[in-house]
Amino acid sequence: MRFRPVAIAFLALSIAACGKGGADSGAAGGAVSTNTAANVAPPPGGDWTTVVSGSGDGIVMGNPDAKVKLLEIASLGCPFCKRFEDEGVPEVMKLVKAGQVQWEFRPFIIHGPVDVAANLIARCNGPQGFFPMSAALYREQERWMGRFEQAPPERVARLQGLPPTQAFVEAATLAGLQGIAAQNGLPSAKANQCLADEAAIEREVAVTANAQSEFPVFKGTPGFAINGQFVPNASSWADLKPALEAALR
């Protein structure tokens, strides 16, 4: 696929705010009430968290017939998304494991090339590798985002002039993402191949554009939809939990 020049310019922009609209809404909110949908028997030899696939723009985990389909739109470089990863994801995973919720994660671009680089690395080992790698990137977020933010401005500016087969390899290098990937089972050579994949780069740009088209009210990460309906003013576990409990009843 030919890389469109508009895409690289698009990546230079701050596309949506990280944590806009309620991200500082308070406590984590605790566990979802047990007065919810009944557990669903897992597939033989595992549980529902092992059922993972790529589906359209996102990566999906869980029972395809779950009563509740939860969509998370998030940036791997966003600190408010990391907060949801820390506070909300453990609770979501309990519901996924029980077969009550199917969880879809759609990576979103906020910080330009470094977000794209992180997305490409997270997807590099296929759907089964996505959630372990995204969890690792969230754990190390302060480290790699800090490295990118402290990189010499001239090297960051140079990214805009590089061809796509080099730009995201360089962005990842500035952030030290290849090293984090290697520590979590993705060799640097393979990571660099994914970072130079023009079709994959175009897809990441399209995923972000599609999210904004599908949910015009979406203003910042993380954002959530339940059964196709966007949840307004929810950017933390405390915000999302009541809507999720209502959907499970």
29: left (phi over 0), alpha (psi -120 to 50) or beta: left
Q: Which domains are assigned to the chain?
A: 50-248 (3.40.30.10)
Which residue positions in the chain have pLDDT lower than 70?
1-16, 19-29, 33-37
- Residue 36 has a pLDDT of 57
> What is the total residue count of the chain?
249
Q: Do 211 and 15 form a contact (C-beta atoms < 8 A)? A: no
- Residue 39 has a pLDDT of 82
- Residue 7 has a pLDDT of 46
Q: Do 109 and 11 form a contact (C-beta atoms < 8 A)? A: yes
- Residue 35 has a pLDDT of 52
- Residue 2 has a pLDDT of 30
| CA quadruple 210, 212, 218, 220: dihedral sign | positive
- Residue 37 has a pLDDT of 64
Measured between alpha carbons, how far is residue 177 from residues 13, 64, 97 in Å? Answer: 21, 32, 30
